[in-house]
Amino acid sequence: PKEIFLKDYKLPDYYFDTVDLSFSLGEEKTIVSAKISVTPRVDGAASPLVLDGVDLKLISVKINGSELKEGDFHLDAKHLILTSPPSGNFILETVTEILPQKNTSLEGLYKSSGNFCTQCEAEGFRKITFYQDRPDIMAKYTCRIEADKSLYPVLLSNGNLIEQGDLEGGKHFALWEDPFKKPCYLFALVAGPLESRDDTFTTCSGRKVALRIWTPPEDLPKTEHAMYSLKAAMKWDEDVFGREYDLDIFNIVSVPDFNMGAMENKSLNIFNSKLVLASPETATDADYAAILGVIGHEYFHNWTGNRVTCRDWFQLSLKEGLTVFRDQEFSSDWGSRTVKRIGDVSKLRTYQFSQDAGPMAHPVRPHSYIKMDNFYTVTVYEKGAEVVRMYKTLLGSQGFRKGTDLYFQRHDGQAVTCEDFFASMRDANDADFANFLSWYSQAGTPIVKVASSYNAEAHTFSLKFTQTVPPTPGQPVKEPMFIPVATGLLDSNGKDMPLSSIYHDGKLESVACGGQPVYTTVLRVTKDEEEFVFADVAEKPIPSLLRGYSAPIRLHSDLTDNDLFFLLANDSDEFNRWEAGQILARKLMLSQVVNFQKDSALVLDPQFVHGIKCIILDSSLDKEFIAKAITLPGEGEIMDMMEVADPDAVHAVRKFIRKQLASELKQELLNLVKENKSSEKYVFDHANMARRALKNTALGYLASLEDEEITELVLQEYKTATNMTDQFSALAAIAQKPGKARDDVLADFYNKWQHDYLVVNKWFALQSSSDIPGNVENVYKLLSHQAFDLKNPNKVYSLIGGFCASPVNFHAKDGSGYKFLGELVVQLDKLNPQVASRMVSAFSRWKRYDETRQNLAKAQLEMIVSANGLSENVYEIASKSLA
Ligand code: HT7
Ligand code: ZN
């Protein structure tokens, strides 16, 4: 397979100005005609025109109306090359035949569940027609669709519907015109028996936009929340970023077979149905929150991605990092900012830090790829969002907004790079960003150590930072990074101390801001070693470092346990209160892992129990914050901190601490359950979600006890639940322990919900991710369950992905978990390489485990790499994992 490098980027030799597509959708095959007006970049330079094309049958090719003969073009498995096109502008016309019904890869044009549907990002358009399939080719499109009217009554594409009508033979057609230039990855077509929920949104300049959410008729009642989310997103983008929607129609289509979450095609967003459909009875609070975030995300792409797009795929984070940042902010403004931040940081730590420390580590802007699909990663998305957040931390809200305004003003209608975004931020604020750009080019999570000291005579407080960035594949040596560390100082009463000035680099810099007291300042750490000395510090403070998690780093401070308990109880920065609790929990868990490995008794520090109890009893705290603060770090996070990851030890320790906490705080937890009972009617707002989160977290703790009364209580919760959040939490609580109660309630749940595939997916995931011993056997059985289908990505993610998320069973020492995944990856790869390569990633950190596990995992990776007809997608991940 060929590796593509950022350093090899070249401007295209030809631009495309207009593209007229015509689709004749059939039951056997589909005919695609394309008429493209072509302009050479350099006038008179008649270099060959190389068009991408995969799995296409070429019927004809014409230039300026004349059919090309053999010798005028060259065809291989991936290209159509026009050897000597005319030297000026010309019209290129092709006709191709494709087979959407046989396309199980779910990229390009495919038919699934009765609908034709497209997915073109990143490089799927080349499976539809011959084209320069790269994002810097931006053209205006029309799209004519012709199909059987009774089978496909709805025909959709990008832009405005300008004509439609009936044709002979029971067929009909629709003609769509998109007035905006776009790269081909934003092209979309949908055809099928769909119905819509309709609404309108009036933009800030008074234009009325028609909003339509399309689903199969039976799913329409479940689109109310999606419509609410869309309207909230449109308003928020106007209020916060000054971005108005630009067409008179916005369509969303829900499809059950989709590789990722959703796709931001211009004015025709296509969504995985699990991120559109919700009702209180079938969707959890987490589902509702995800829908709000993803509807927002795809809508926000209209400006960050569509109006301003990427020059090449290496710049993916330009649109994805920025758009994730925007959706995070949207959700923060909707609910609790702290709780949202805690969730986002946990995700970053669990998945991105792990990627950054493994064989697939890559910078936010990768240097190379074999298959671009493999680079839709937590690094590009989540770390990319952290990079955008750092601009805001450095510039403040107003400075950041000035930067985005300039970015849109400079680059509307263009395909640009991460430097262009950087330059807009810098120029709009006349800012000095020092070595900030290395966040785009260096992989690895920086490790920052901080040593503090107080000088009682001089009333100064010093913070000494040292940073290192670990080596990653292809980058053995790193430069220091520019790390913004938001810092505050607490006095002995737990109050923020006003900050006056700081000695740094031999200068005294004032922190004060226009006579207003300042309690948090952003230290700009740019070197390997750097000291900041706070002046006028009246007493020895406790520092609150990296407030709000101001940079995506691992911070090691010299704070003592007492300092951390103090911060947990007092910090005005709620994120850092949570963080202090997590640091304490991580230390505790790691110390008990050592005990477990030495066969010593496990013990729970009473001070930790007390800290958790104080949080539970603090009625001034947000309930969802309490739920987060009493939740222990995940097993993956702890394993990442060990020399050799030991899934059995970490699992046993986490289980022990949970059970011990439940036993010592039983009464407090029971009170939480009692006091936070759900109201009859499901309301999706922060207060109600927070109540449910706290009650269900408490219930989960309690259910870890061997206690009949508690089992009764949880069963009662299950039976009386009036919404899926409560019902599923109770089910999960009961399912922790093998036995009759578990079996009965799992069977009951399936019987109740077998008609709803989204709920059945939850049922699959709950069972496959279970830690009950030997669970691989159950998962094998579920593979042949009537509701499972290897062709549907959601089912694969639930059953196979769920299994890989269970450390004890996936990493079972007999290798049964690895064997299971190895076999499935090979099978799945033949159907859907994108999904197979997501699954094979579960092997990527195999070198972190003991020798026995390493050998077993390596054998599976070797088996996969040598499989016949392996896709480039799986090859790239598996071979890089082995390297
Ligand atoms: N921009 C979208 C990316 C996407 C995608 C990429 C590869 C293969 C399939 C895909 N489906 C959607 C989604 C987003 O981030 O908004
Ligand atoms: Zn996106």
Residue 479 alpha carbon to ligand 1 centre in Å = 32
> CA 598 to CA 161: how far, in whole Å?
70
Provide the token pair at 366: 């990768």
447-552 to CATH, choices 3.20.20.70, 3.40.190.10, 2.60.40.1840, 2.60.40.420: 2.60.40.1840
Question: Strand 4-5 vs strand 368-369: parallel, antiparallel, or unpaired?
Answer: antiparallel
pLDDT digits (tens, 9 = 90+) for 288-308: 999 999 999 999 999 999 999
Q: What is the largest CA-CA distance in the chain?
A: 94
- Identify the CA nearest to 138 among candidates 413, 323, 372: 413
pLDDT band at 479, cuts 50/70/90?
Answer: very high
Which top CATH class is 309-441?
mainly alpha
pLDDT for 803 equals 98
Question: Strand 154-157 vs strand 208-215: parallel, antiparallel, or unpaired?
Answer: unpaired
pLDDT digits (tens, 9 = 90+) for 311-320: 999 999 999 9
Give the residue whose CA is nearest to atom 7 of ligand 1: 373
| Average pLDDT of the residues of the chain | 97
Altogether, the residues listed in the chain come to a count of 883
- Phi/psi for 309 (5° steps) reads -115, -170
Q: Over 90: is that where the pLDDT of 44 sits? A: no
- For ligand 1, whether the C-beta of 122 sits within 6 Å is yes
- For ligand 1, whether the C-beta of 372 sits within 6 Å is no
Give the residue whose CA is nearest to atom 5 of ligand 1: 121
Best of 133, 260, 299 for a ligand 1 pocket test (most atoms within 8 Å of beta carbon) = 260
pLDDT band at 190, cuts 50/70/90?
Answer: very high
How much of the chain exceeds pLDDT 70, in percent?
100
Nearest ligand by distance to the CA of 186: 1
Residues of the chain with CATH 2.60.40.1840: 447-552
Cβ–Cβ under 8 Å, residues 221 and 279: yes
pLDDT digits (tens, 9 = 90+) for 832-875: 999 999 999 999 999 999 999 999 999 999 999 999 999 999 99
The CA dihedral of 634, 639, 642, 647, to the nearest 10 degrees, is 130
Nearest ligand by distance to the CA of 258: 1
Q: Over 90: is that where the pLDDT of 671 sits? A: yes
Nearest ligand by distance to the CA of 264: 1
Domain spanning 15-277: CATH superfamily: tricorn interacting facor f3 domain (2.60.40.1730)
- Phi/psi for 155 (5° steps) reads -125, 115
- For ligand 1, whether the C-beta of 260 sits within 6 Å is yes
- Phi/psi for 825 (5° steps) reads -60, -45
- For ligand 1, whether the C-beta of 297 sits within 6 Å is yes
Residue 530 alpha carbon to ligand 1 centre in Å = 41
Residue 640 alpha carbon to ligand 2 centre in Å = 28
Closest atom of ligand 1 relative to the 834 alpha carbon: 8
Beta strands in 105-256 (DSSP E): 108-112, 115-119, 139-148, 154-157, 160-166, 171-182, 189-192, 195-202, 208-215, 249-255
- For ligand 1, whether the C-beta of 313 sits within 6 Å is no
- Give the amino acid at 85: P
Best of 125, 127, 263 for a ligand 1 pocket test (most atoms within 8 Å of beta carbon) = 263
Q: Over 80: is that where the pLDDT of 345 sits? A: yes
Segment (H or E) for 310: strand 309-310
Closest atom of ligand 1 relative to the 373 alpha carbon: 7
- Model-level pTM greater than 0.90? yes
Cβ–Cβ under 8 Å, residues 524 and 434: yes
Average pLDDT over residues 200-225: 98
SS3 647: helix
Give the residue whose CA is nearest to atom 2 of ligand 1: 263
Q: Over 80: is that where the pLDDT of 118 sits? A: yes
Give the residue whose CA is nearest to atom 13 of ligand 1: 263
pLDDT digits (tens, 9 = 90+) for 591-630: 999 999 999 999 999 999 999 999 999 999 999 999 999 9
- Identify the CA nearest to 764 among candidates 738, 785, 790, 736: 785
Q: Over 90: is that where the pLDDT of 45 sits? A: no
Nearest ligand by distance to the CA of 259: 1
Best of 110, 118, 121, 259 for a ligand 1 pocket test (most atoms within 8 Å of beta carbon) = 121
- For ligand 1, whether the C-beta of 373 sits within 6 Å is yes
- For ligand 1, whether the C-beta of 257 sits within 6 Å is no
Provide the token pair at 807: 């450390």
Q: Over 90: is that where the pLDDT of 514 sits? A: no
> CA 98 to CA 321: how far, in whole Å?
34
> What's 221's DSSP letter?
G
Q: Where are the alpha helices (DSSP H) in 365-509?
A: 378, 384-411, 418-429, 438-441
What is the CA angle 216-220-224, rounded to 5?
145
pLDDT digits (tens, 9 = 90+) for 245-281: 999 999 999 999 999 999 999 999 999 999 999 999 9
The CA dihedral of 156, 161, 162, 163, to the nearest 10 degrees, is 50
The alpha carbon of residue 642 and the mean position of all alpha carbons in its chain are separated, in whole angstroms, by 26
Closest atom of ligand 1 relative to the 259 alpha carbon: 9
| Beta-carbon contacts of residue 379 (< 8 Å; ≥ 6 apart) | 352, 355, 356, 361, 362, 363, 364, 443
Residues of the chain with CATH 2.60.40.1730: 15-277
Residue 184 alpha carbon to ligand 2 centre in Å = 16
The CA dihedral of 543, 545, 547, 552, to the nearest 10 degrees, is 180
Cβ–Cβ under 8 Å, residues 700 and 714: no
Residue 564 alpha carbon to ligand 2 centre in Å = 37
| Beta-carbon contacts of residue 75 (< 8 Å; ≥ 6 apart) | 58, 81
Residue 327 alpha carbon to ligand 2 centre in Å = 9
Residue 297 alpha carbon to ligand 2 centre in Å = 6
> CA 861 to CA 822: how far, in whole Å?
7
Lookup result for tokens 């986002």: 344
Nearest ligand by distance to the CA of 272: 1
Instruction: Report, as residue numbers or ranges, the catalytic residues.
Output: 298
Q: Over 90: is that where the pLDDT of 513 sits? A: no
Domain spanning 754-883: CATH superfamily: Peptidase M1, alanyl aminopeptidase, C-terminal domain (1.25.50.10)
From residue 521, give the alpha-carbon distance in Å to each of 265, 432, 455, 459. 41, 17, 20, 18
SS3 274: helix
Cβ–Cβ under 8 Å, residues 558 and 545: no
Using left for φ > 0, alpha for ψ between -120 and 50, and beta otherwise, residue 493 falls in alpha
State whether ipTM is beyond 0.85: yes
> CA 242 to CA 264: how far, in whole Å?
19
From residue 341, give the alpha-carbon distance in Å to each of 550, 573, 782. 11, 12, 36
> CA 151 to CA 6: how far, in whole Å?
45
> CA 563 to CA 784: how far, in whole Å?
54
pLDDT for 43 equals 81
Q: Where are the alpha helices (DSSP H) in 443-599?
A: 561-570, 574-597
pLDDT for 678 equals 81
- For ligand 1, whether the C-beta of 117 sits within 6 Å is no
Q: Over 90: is that where the pLDDT of 46 sits? A: no
Neighbours of 174 (CB within 10 A): 21
Residue 452 alpha carbon to ligand 1 centre in Å = 45
Cβ–Cβ under 8 Å, residues 706 and 736: no
- Identify the CA nearest to 137 among candidates 389, 299, 342, 312: 312
Residues of the chain with CATH 1.25.50.10: 754-883
From residue 9, give the alpha-carbon distance in Å to each of 4, 367, 460, 561. 9, 11, 52, 51
- DSSP conformation letters of 723-756: SHHHHHHHHHHHTTS-SHHHHHHHHHHHHHHTT-
